[in-house]
Amino acid sequence: MAAETEGGRCALITGITGQDGSFLAELLLEQGYRVAGLVRRSSAETLGAAEHLRGQLELVRGELLDGDSLRRAVERLRPDELYHLASPSFVPESWQRPAQTLAAIAGSTATLLEAVRDRSDHTRVFVASSGAIFGAGGESPQREDSRCRPQTPYATAKLAAHQLVGQFRTRHGLFAAAGILYNHESERRPEWFVSRKITRAAAAIKAGVADELALGDLEAVRDWSFAGDIVHGAWLMLQQPRAEDFVLASGTSHKVAELAEIAFERVGLDARDHIRVDPSLVRSAEPTPLIGDPSRARERLGWSPALSFEQLIRRMVDADLRSLAGRQLA
C-alpha cells in the first residue's frame, strides 16, 4: 500500500544534493510529487545543487555506509518511487578506497533493495548504473546486453549494483530498473570534472582572471549528454508497465578537444591559444571507447535528448560567465 500524501506520489532520492538529484527533484516537483531527499547529517547542512529547492523538499537523514539509516528512510516514507543516485562519483578515488567504494555503491544498493522487498514492496526502484561497467568488453557502442569487463573498482561496484537490481527483479518480483548512464554534464557539475574544468576556464580566461588551462589527453573520447535529459529518462523508466534496464546516452562520441573548442568559441577565443597539455594528467587510453547505444530507450520509452552537445557546452559556459561576473561584483 502506497504512502498517503497530500501532494500525489511520493519519491525518495538519494544523492539529492548532487547534479542529477537536483534536476530530478525539479522534474518531480513539476509533476506534483512529494519529494524527499536523503541527506547525511541534518537539514541545516547545505543542499548543494538542490539548495534552491530548500523548503520544497522533505529531508531524511541517511548515509550510504549506514545501512540502518537507509532502511529507516524506506520504512518511514514507503515511497512510490525510489531513485538511488548517490555514490562516490570521482573514479580515480576508487583506487584509493576500493573497499569503501564497493560498500557505498553495491552495499547501499543491496540494502535499499532489501528494505523495499521487506517493508515497501510497492515501491518502484531506479538505480543509477554506469557505462563504465562495460570497460574492456570489446564492443562499441554498447547496448544493454553488451559484455561487461569493468576496469576500475568504481566500475566493478557499479556492475555489482546493476546485477543486484536484475536479481531482485527476477527473484522477488520487485519493480527495479537500472539506468546505464554515460557521461552527463551541466553547470551543476563539480569543477574537478573535465567538462566543467574546461567551461570554467574558458569563462575565467575571457574575464581576465586566468591565463591558461592544463589538460591531459585532448584526443580522449566521451559520450556526453545533458544531466536534465538523463534524469528525465530515469523518470520515464519508472512509468513503464514493467521494469527494464536501459542505456541512457547520446549515442555519439566527442573528443575533449571538441568540447574545448566549443567552449572557447563561445567566449570568442581560440582554445589552442590557451590550453597546455600536461603529460602528468594523461591517463592510459581506454581499451574500448565507452559510447552508449540508446536505441532501446528511444523505442520503448520515447526518450530523446532535448539538448545537443553544442547547446550543452554553451549553456555551461554561459552559466560560468554569470557566476564569475557575480563574484566580481560582490
At what angle are helices 256-266 and 194-206 packed, to 10 degrees? 30
Domain annotation covers residue 1: no
* 62 and 105 part of one domain: yes
Whether residue 204 is contained in a domain is answered as yes
Q: Which of 27, 18, 23 is nearest to 9 (CA)?
A: 27
Asked if residue 3 belongs to a domain, the reply is no
Res 4: pLDDT: 40
Sign of CA dihedral 110, 74, 49, 45: negative
Residue 297 lies in a domain: no
Residue 281, domain CATH: 3.90.25.10
Q: In the numeric block, which cell numbers belong to residue 237?
A: 523508466
Q: What is the pLDDT of residue 3?
A: 40
In this prediction the pTM is 0.94
Alpha helices in 120-255 (DSSP H): 153-172, 194-206, 227-237
* Strands annotated E in the chain: 10-14, 34-39, 58-61, 81-84, 124-130, 176-181, 184-185, 213-215, 221-222, 225-226, 246-248, 254-255, 275-277
Same domain assignment for residues 161 and 78? yes
Q: Say yes or no: 210 and 144 in one domain.
A: no
- 108 and 156 co-located in one domain: yes
In a domain, 300, yes or no: no
Looking at residue 110, its pLDDT comes to: 98
Rounded Cα distance, 318 and 304, in Å = 24
Split the chain (330 residues) into runs of 10 and give each run's mean pLDDT.
57 97 98 96 78 96 96 98 90 83 97 98 98 96 98 96 98 98 97 95 96 95 97 98 98 97 98 94 84 98 96 98 79
Distances (CA, A) of 274 to 205, 211, 263, 303, 309: 8, 7, 12, 38, 22
The secondary structure of residue 115, as a DSSP letter, is H
CB atoms within 10 A of CB 90: 10
CB atoms within 10 A of CB 275: 22
pLDDT at 42: 56
Structural domain of 265:
190-223+253-288+308-324
Amino acid identity of residue 100, one-letter, is Q
Q: Tell me the three cell numbers of residue 239.
A: 512509468
Q: How far apart are CA 129 and CA 283, in angstroms?
A: 23
- Asked, for residue 4, whether it belongs to a domain, the answer is no
Instruction: Compute how many other C-beta atoms are within 10 angstroms of the C-beta atom of residue 4.
Output: 7
Are 233 and 179 a contacting pair, CB within 8 Å?
A: yes
Amino acid at 291: I
Q: Please give the backbone phi and psi of residue 77, each rounded to the nearest 5 degrees, phi first.
A: -90, -35
Q: Which amino acid is at 71?
A: R
In 3-state terms the chain splits into helix, strand, coil percentages (rounded to 5) of 45, 15, 40
Q: Residues 282, 219: contact at Cβ < 8 Å?
A: no
Can you say whether the dihedral through the CA atoms of 278, 281, 285, 291 is positive or negative? Answer: negative
- Indicate if 281 and 146 belong to the same structural domain: no
Indicate if 168 and 240 belong to the same structural domain: yes
- Tell me the HSE value of 292 on the side-chain side, using a 13 A CA sphere: 26
Contacts of 4 (CB under 8 A, 6+ apart): none
Same domain, 37 and 142: yes
| Domain membership flag for residue 263 | yes
One domain for residues 118 and 204: no
Nearest residue to 125 via CA among 193, 173, 160: 173
Contact 10, 77 (CB under 8 A): yes
Same domain, 152 and 209: no
Report the CATH number that the domain containing residue 72 is assigned in CATH: 3.40.50.720
Neighbours of 138 (CB within 10 A): 12
Contact (Cβ atoms closer than 8 angstroms) between residue 117 and residue 74: no
Cα 164 to its chain centre, rounded Å, is 19
Structure confidence at residue 1 (pLDDT) = 32
Query: Quick one: pLDDT at residue 93?
Result: 77
Residue 58 counted as domain residue: yes
**What pLDDT does residue 43 have?**
53
Provide the β-strand partners of residue 12.
Answer: 36, 82
Number of domains observed in the structure of the chain: 2
pLDDT on residue 328: 65
Whether residue 113 sits in one domain with residue 51: yes
